[in-house]
Structure 1
Amino acid sequence: MRYRFLKEHRGESGPIRKAREILGVSKSGYHESLRRRKSNAQIEREALEQFVKDEFERHKGRYGYRRIGRGLRRAGIHAGEKRILNVMRKLGLQAKGTTRKHRRAKAVEKGDPRVNLINRAFDVDSRNELWVGDITYIPTDEGWLYLAAVIDAWHRKVVGWSMSSRITEKLAIDALDQAVGRENPPNDYSLVFHDDQGSQHASRAFQRCLESHGIAQSMSRPGNPWDNAIAESFFKTLKRELIRERPYRTREDAKREVFKYIELYNNTQRMHSSLGYRAPCDLGRGVA
């Protein structure tokens, strides 16, 4: 360990002789260590550390040891999850994360006009069976930027989105219209759109939009985020992996970054544990 320390830090803190004396290393022993070749195990260990670091930085610190392990295996580099976890701890690499908070659901009262067609059954067999939607806010120096998203529960792809400085029913309608234009679902009410009973999604204008596209509407119970877990999870991940990185000076700056995250990363690259650590676009291609 002392020889390794001298190798890695020689020249950083004055003459090597003084450093040898402090660490109790002889001159002959030090020079012999310089000529000594690295073992195969050491070479393999250092290579794995570099691979893990590169994968971690490629995803901007968003991946933990499980996703990094799967990313490396796709590249032909095989290492156990426990080993990768130990490497990350050694290198001081920690994925972005938050402490989970649990809230108690609001009790359902008699006569409560709630329509929940899903009841948390988010597993579907194909695309365009179940879409979920919600709206979140993004802080900028100019004020809030609101983001409405429509997510297909089958492959967790964001099929429609819209951003605006105002939180109105038009924001929700624009996201839905984009999703319909991209996915072209059947106009026969076989597709269900589930939301959290926000005023924008509960508005008559949004309901007319659903009716015009032949889409059935389902709503969460008030105060129960688990009823719309897919949308909640997406926004939580978006804020953890992107929004909290830095403040945005303008709404346009935020729009550009959110667009890149959704279209160029989340939909095409990011592994989702619910999909067996595949990206949304992989599901259609049958990538393992």
Structure 2
Amino acid sequence: MGHRITSVLSALNIARSTYYQWKNWQPSQRETRRTALKTAIKAVYNTNRGIYGYRRIAAFLRFILKTDVGDRLVWELMNELNLKSRMVKKSYKKPTTTTDTPQKPNLMKKLDDLSGVLATDITYIQLMNREWVYLATVYDPEKRRVVSYGLSPEMTKEFATSVVVPPCFFAPKIPMFFRPLLPLNFQIIKPWAIRPHPTSAKRLTLPLKSNLITAFVSFRRLSKS
């Protein structure tokens, strides 16, 4: 028998060591583990009707079957088994805004000197207690920082103008006829101090300040970029 095998291997130009290595081959621990994982992955996949993807299957193996396995390995084994989740990621189409009226040009882009120019904005912020407040800001594009802001639970005309008048009063290039509009009880709001609008200070609670500190720091970072 051995002589016949030797003759066949010699005719096929195959070394005897290669033949005996193939004959006595045993799967390694890595191959054994991958085979067992493939069986478990296929069972979980079929049990859930192909809905689970590689992340959910990996989490199922870790927390339910107590198997130490990573998401990447499960993804590789599912590719080898040609298994894919039936769930399709929902596509999101960003809404587009269209208008029929002609738009006003942005005059600030055409200015060479930004001194004396102020930009305003009003937005609303939800607090941790589910209440909403309005944040009005005045931005100096020349200095690239917020020069005034205020907080109020209501968006009124007095609230909107209260944050605009103080910067105009101290701006050197603002005409003098704007400055008498400054109220007698005005306060310059420093960028690093959170101060609510005077008319609504009694109605604002402590969670308001703690939440708006984070919101305003984010606003300052955006204004400096």
Q: TM-score range by the shorter chain?
A: 0.3 to 0.5
Query: Could you say which structure has the larger radius of gyration?
Result: 2
Larger RCO (alpha carbons 8 Å, 6+ apart): 1
TM-score (norm 1): 0.31
